[in-house]
């Protein structure tokens, strides 16, 4: 795999392949053809072959893909074979939802700490993790070899905290705050902007309704 | 606007424009040039002009864009000028995080109800909304003219609940369950798969680390 360039579009699809392959593994499926995988994933078989051929073409004619091998290889590319130490800044509902999601740990994302500014939350324990005040942030990051931070705080505080995280050596920010963060080039940010996602949904449902209405109007005109 | 086709790529970028324009409005900014907007949004000015020309080219030379007009027009396209009645299925941390996000209501997403199967949650009240058992789901949807549902439940239950929602007339599902839903063509699904987002982050941070290591190794070889 070393030195191979995989396109951004393929990378974007890998987590979904990883999920389906993981489910197949759990079901005890050892190998699968591109056609079967195509039916499950609702992606064309040729797309699947193109995507998975990036990993050395280990789909064999008449044999199919070795599920475990493919799952492991994709996991390596996604970096889920390594341990990532993660902290959560913002211990409200969203932060707690993330802390409670045990599956993240199975994939190597170890939640080392949670932080908040709300004194009513500081000291509480969520799934074994005590919520700390943000004063201790920098020391905690250094002591616990933390590389990743989930930012589940309101947008007003997000930029300030992001600056502190970057100075403290954080290399990856999972940003739920509804603001674009300014970070140096060697820090990666993955945004989860829930209200933008909800607007995409409303756009799609509205265009569906409008289409239907137009069809009905045309129907009336014709009748 | 009627009858104009806007490309999927542009639609995907609209929520971000909407956010920036909303922030400008709050700051009292009445008009903005594509260059200024370009600097704020870190998108090229030509991209901005191309995107916004879809809305009738109301950027005037030397005047710039009328912020309020553009905000309103984009809002109409995204459907946030209409009211959408929404329910939340799954009243755990994630469901409660959504229920507590008051900004959704400003954009027309009215949270009408919350549902769960956990008897310890049923009867609790979150921001004025009582959590109900799922037995009442169909009746509630009919009584309250609900079109949208957020699905914040584990994947094992998601398909069964999605089927019930579709039969009860739901037209849009905001799916946080880590599974692909099978719905009829006239129902739209917007997925928020958090673990896939986290894997994209880990992929990017790992490739950054690998790159850095390669550069260091090369540096050592040269020295």
Rounded to whole angstroms, the Cα distance separating A62 from A50 reads 17
Contacts of A197 in chain B (CB under 8 A): 174, 190, 192
DSSP state, residue B124: -
Query: Would you say residue A221 has pLDDT above 80?
Result: no
Q: Which residues of B touch A196 (CB under 8 A)?
A: 15-16, 19
Give the C-alpha separation, B117 to A56, whole Å: 46
**CB A147 to CB B208 under 8 A?**
no
Query: In a structure prediction context, what are the per-residue pLDDT tens digits for chain B, which is 223 residues long?
Result: 444 567 888 888 999 999 999 999 999 999 999 899 999 999 999 999 888 888 765 656 667 888 999 999 999 999 999 999 999 999 999 999 999 987 888 889 999 999 999 999 999 999 999 999 999 899 999 999 999 999 999 999 999 999 999 999 999 999 999 999 999 999 999 999 999 999 999 999 998 888 888 888 887 776 5
Element (H, E) at B126: strand B125-126
**Co-location of B32 and B127 in the same domain:** no
Q: What is residue B2's predicted lDDT score, i.e. its pLDDT?
A: 45
3-state SS of chain A is CCCCCCCHHHHHHHHHHHHHHHHHHHCCCCEECHHHHHHHHCCCHHHHHHHHHHHCCCCECCCEEEHHHHHHHHHHHHCCCCCEEEEEECCCHHHHHHHCCCHHHHCCEEEEEEEECCCCCCCCEECCEEEEEHHHHHHHHHHCCCCEEEECCCHHHHHHHHHHHHHCCCCEEEECCCCCCCCCCCCEEEECCHHHHHHHHHHHHHHHHHHHHHHHHHHHHHC
The pLDDT confidence band at residue A215, using thresholds 50, 70 and 90, is confident
Share of chain A above pLDDT 90, in %: 73
ipTM of the complex: 0.89
Q: Which residue has the tokens 């190794």?
A: B217
Tell me, yes or no, whether A38 lies in a domain: yes
Q: Which of A51-55, A155-159, B177-181 has the lowest mean pLDDT?
A: A51-55
B152 shares a domain with B109 = yes
Q: Which domain holds residue A62?
A: 8-78
Residue A108 and residue A53 in one domain? no
**Do residue B54 and residue B101 come from a single domain?**
no
The answer to whether residue A35 sits within a structural domain is yes
- Same structural domain, A59 and A125: no
Residue A133 belongs to a domain:
yes
Asked if residue A3 has pLDDT above 60, the reply is no
A130 and A181 housed in the same domain: yes
Q: Are strands A129-133 and A109-116 parallel, antiparallel or unpaired?
A: parallel
Give domain status of residue B121, yes or no.
yes
In a domain, B185, yes or no: yes
Instruction: Nearest by CB to B201, from A103, A188, A212: name it.
Output: A188
Dist CA A103 CA A98 (whole Å): 10
Q: How many domains does chain B have?
A: 2
Would B215 be classed as within a structural domain? Answer: no
Give me the pLDDT at residue B112, please: 96
For A57-72, the pLDDT digits (tens) are 565 666 788 899 999 9
A219 domain-assigned:
no
pLDDT tens figures, A125-151? 999 999 999 998 999 999 999 999 999
Of A60, A78, A96, the one marking the end of a domain is A78
> Residue B206: which of A82, A109, A186 has the nearest Cβ?
A82
- Subunit contact B212:A15, Cβ cutoff 8 A: no
Same domain assignment for residues B111 and B38: no
Alpha-carbon distance of B156 to B63, in angstroms, equals 55
Residues A46-60 have a mean pLDDT of: 77
Do A55 and A113 lie in a common domain? no
Last residue of a domain, one of A38, A57, A78: A78
pLDDT at A78 (0 to 100): 92
**Above pLDDT 70, what percent of chain A?**
93
Does B190 reside within a domain?
yes
Residue A220's Cβ-count burial label (10 Å; 0-12, 13-18, 19+) is exposed
Task: Give the minimum alpha-carbon distance from B61 to chain A in angstroms, rounded to a whole number.
Answer: 28
**Mean of pLDDT over chain A:** 90
CB neighbours (10 Å) of residue A216?
10
pTM: 0.90
CB within 8 Å: B194 and A77: no
- Which two tokens mark A205? 């449902």
Our CA-based measurement puts residue B163 at a distance from the nearest CA of chain A, in whole angstroms, of 18
Residues A90 and A179 in one domain: yes
Q: Contact at 8 Å (CB) between B11 and B19?
A: no
Contacts of A190 in chain B (CB under 8 A): 197-198, 200-201, 204
Q: For A155-172, what is the mean pLDDT?
A: 96
Element (H or E) spanning B190, and its range? strand B188-191
**pLDDT > 50? residue A1:** no
Q: For B155-185, what is each residue's pLDDT tens digit?
A: 999 999 999 999 999 999 999 999 999 999 9
What token pair was written down for A90?
A: 């913002």
- Shortest distance, CA B99 to any CA of chain A (angstroms): 10
pLDDT above 60 for A86: yes
The answer on A72 and A102 residing in a single domain is no
pLDDT at A218: 80
Q: Does residue A71 sit in the same domain as residue A130?
A: no
Does one domain contain both A190 and A88?
Answer: yes
Instruction: Give me the helices (H) in chain B, please.
Output: 8-26, 34-41, 45-52, 67-78, 93-99, 103-106, 137-143, 155-167, 194-222
Residue B161 burial (10 A CB sphere; 0-12, 13-18, 19+):
buried
Specify the higher pLDDT residue, A214 or B184. B184
Give the residue from chain A lying closest to B179, CA to CA: A19
Across the interface, of B84, B93, B196, the residue whose CB is closest to A100 is: B93
Does the beta-carbon distance from B198 to A104 stay under 8 Å?
yes
Burial of B167 per CB tally in 10 Å (0-12, 13-18, 19+): exposed
8 Å CB contact of A107 and B195: yes
State residue B106's pLDDT score: 86
**Domain containing residue B65: CATH number:** 1.10.10.10
For tokens 């982050």, the residue is B201
CA angle B184, B187, B188 (to 5 degrees): 125
Look at residue A60 in the predicted model and tell me its pLDDT.
63
């Amino acid at each position: 795999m070393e030195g191979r360039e995989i396109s951004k579009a393929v990378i974007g699809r890998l987590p979904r392949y990883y999920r389906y392959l993981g489910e197949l593994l759990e079901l005890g499926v050892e190998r699968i053809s591109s056609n079967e995988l195509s039916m499950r994933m609702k992606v064309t078989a040729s797309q699947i072959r193109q995507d998975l051929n990036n990993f050395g073409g280990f789909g064999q004619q008449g044999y199919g893909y070795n599920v475990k091998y493919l799952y492991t290889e994709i996991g390596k590319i996604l970096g889920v074979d390594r341990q990532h130490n993660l902290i959560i800044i913002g211990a409200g509902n969203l932060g707690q939802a993330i802390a409670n999601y045990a599956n993240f740990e199975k994939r190597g994302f170890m939640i080392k700490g949670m932080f908040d500014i709300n004194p009513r939350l500081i000291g509480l324990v969520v799934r074994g993790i005590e919520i700390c005040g943000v004063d201790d942030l920098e020391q905690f990051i250094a002591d616990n070899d933390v590389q990743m931070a989930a930012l589940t705080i309101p947008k007003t505080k997000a930029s300030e905290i992001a600056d502190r995280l970057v100075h403290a050596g954080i290399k990856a920010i999972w940003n739920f705050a509804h603001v674009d963060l300014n970070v140096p080039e060697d820090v990666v940010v993955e945004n989860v902007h829930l209200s933008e996602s909800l607007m995409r949904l409303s756009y799609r449902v509205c265009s569906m309704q409008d289409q239907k209405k137009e069809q009905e109007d045309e129907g009336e005109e014709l009748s």
